[in-house]
Amino acid sequence: MPTAMITGASRGVGAAVARALAPTHTLFLAGRPSPDLDAIAAEFGATTWPMDLADFDAIPTVVEPIDQLDVLVHNAGVAYPGRVAESTVDEWRSTMAVNVVGPVALTLALLPALRAARGHVVFVNSGSGINVSPGLASYASSKFALRAFADSLRNDESSLRVTSVHPGRIATEMQEELVAYEEREYDPSQFLSPETVAQVIADAVHAPPDAHIREVVVRPR
């Protein structure tokens, strides 16, 4: 079977993507070691790849055994709710490290394996990567940067398919924190489910080989 690495696979969208791709792909689940990640791996007989995206120097060694990779799904991310004046330099540094520089480092380390497979790189971006959302200054900035990296990768690596997925708000723990910041009541029915977003990603991955789905925008109905 083809192979797929998913970052941030322990819960939320990452776990849902693992479930959506498990019937058709051998899964490599990347993330910080945790019982949740181990449980998802056990569910599908997948391999875990312990990884901290903020530890850029360690990433090449972690993925060195991979010589061919069909799909790389960049899903891991962090968000610190706050407007510009409320934010801190440490929050900006952490956001850019995990949401931008980490994915860049992982992509560069896996580029030979992706080229060998004429693979597909999927970036789970955000609506905030198209239009800036109030109260998400550092997060939106990181998602704009991630979108630019995806566009650059697509331009520079013609053998790869590169897809940016821009979901609206998703019913996840991150969303609960944002709603709490907004001082509103959290109602998951108002948001996209992780499973819906995962299905959109799986559809892009399973597109016929002559199709290159470059960008997907999905919003709650």
Given the structure tokens 């956001």, which residue do they identify? 95
Plot region of 13 (φ>0 → left; ψ -120 to 50 → alpha; else → beta): alpha
Catalogue the active-site residues: 139
Q: Name the nearest CA neighbour of 127 among 82, 79, 199, 91.
A: 79
Q: In angstroms, rounded to a whole number, what is the distance separating the alpha carbons of residues 215 and 125?
A: 10
Q: Residue 162: beta bridge partners?
A: 121
Q: What is the DSSP letter of 170?
A: B
Q: In angstroms, rounded to a whole number, what is the distance separating the alpha carbons of residues 16 and 197?
A: 8
Q: What is the DSSP letter of 82?
A: B
